[in-house]
Amino acid sequence: MAYRVLGRAGPPQPRRARRLLFAFTLSLSCTYLCYSFLCCCDDLGRSRLLGAPRCLRGPSAGGQKLLQKSRPCDPLGPTPSEPGAPSAPAAAVPAPRLSGSNHSGSPKPGTKRLPQALIVGVKKGGTRAVLEFIRVHPDVRALGTEPHFFDRNYGRGLDWYRSLMPRTLESQITLEKTPSYFVTQEAPRRIFNMSRDTKLIVVVRNPVTRAISDYTQTLSKKPDIPTFEGLSFRNRTLGLVDVSWNAIRIGMYVLHLESWLQYFPLAQIHFVSGERLITDPAGEMGRVQDFLGIKRFITDKHFYFNKTKGFPCLKKTESSLLPRCLGKSKGRTHVQIDPEVIDQLREFYRPYNIKFYETVGQDFRWE
């Protein structure tokens, strides 16, 4: 067969070869296009597909045209896939705060309740000792300070009063102490309106000794006050005692008790002997626990006698590395009083004491 010669033209290429060349070119273009799609970062520097930042580092010359419109990511250091690259710290997610929880995140146990029992008196009778002793009991939670709700702060309302109380479980008793309640005319009615089932504790002491202790405390704060004798009598020669002086009036227990018995039966009032609280603290506290309806947990093993202070203190417990005694203001030495003044006051209090014994059915032997 003869061929036509047109310049240097050779024989025509087969159609199959042309198809293979076209397929190869198309495959190469798709490869570069996929590489561009996977590796190119968007405006935020994150791959839409992989969700992780990827930066373009020196694309090949063959891919320049395909990648020239792509903007490289800001450098973020080595990627996690590179050997030895530190992993990026995860963003901290704050833990949700629980309502009513403490700083540790766990809810505080118990509920704030109005007190079921009150130590209502009397001042300088031994109320602080009873409070500190009874707080050892696991079934009692007591407010450490004196809220004076039923005498000075009644206008604040019961919600305010409740907010002061410690949290207690259903099995625990809430208790507070304010000795001035006993001599406050409105206190019995106000406590009755809160709860007619409230249990009342009254710590009483020889009224003459109590008055001297009261005066000693006042004298430590006000050194310029008149003498004990001058405050006790309107006319000592005639034996006229000044019952307007609070230190004297508090000791007329039976007069104050009459107000309480108008609202509470005697069975709901427990009287603690301030003298026996010193000589037999376990016995007195045993009767307090019986009155409150709780197990006799506080016993002789909890006490030792402090000769310096002249009254019992609590021994150290598992929760306390040191023994617990009342503060410096307790057990202070009384001022010296003329014995004749003491005798006159004993005679003054005698009829009130006897009537008090008869009313409560207990002889405190103060004569």
> Binding residue per annotation — 15?
no
Assign 306 a pLDDT band (cuts: 50, 70, 90): confident
Is 124 annotated as catalytic?
yes
Cα→Cα distances 145→51, 131, 149, 164, 190, Å: 61, 10, 11, 9, 20
Q: Give the pLDDT confidence score for residue 367 in this predicted structure.
A: 82
Three-state SS at 117:
strand
**Average confidence (pLDDT) over 142-156:** 98
> Binding residue per annotation — 205?
yes
Pairing of the two strands 233-235 and 311-314 = unpaired
Q: Which of 69, 112, 124, 222 is catalytic?
A: 124
Spatial strand order of the sheet with 173-177 comes to 140-142, 173-177, 117-121, 199-204, 269-273
Whether residue 66 has pLDDT greater than 80: no
> Binding residue per annotation — 31?
no
Assign 95 a pLDDT band (cuts: 50, 70, 90): very low
Whether residue 104 has pLDDT greater than 90: no
111-360 has which CATH code?
3.40.50.300
Can you tell me the distance from the alpha carbon of 212 to that of 205, in angstroms, rounded to the nearest whole number? 11
> Binding residue per annotation — 167?
no
> Binding residue per annotation — 121?
no
Residue boundaries of the structural domains of the chain: 111-360
> Binding residue per annotation — 144?
no
Q: Give the pLDDT confidence score for residue 57 in this predicted structure.
A: 43
Query: How confident is the prediction for the chain on average, in pLDDT?
Result: 80
> Binding residue per annotation — 127?
yes
Q: Which two tokens stand for residue 356?
A: 């008090």
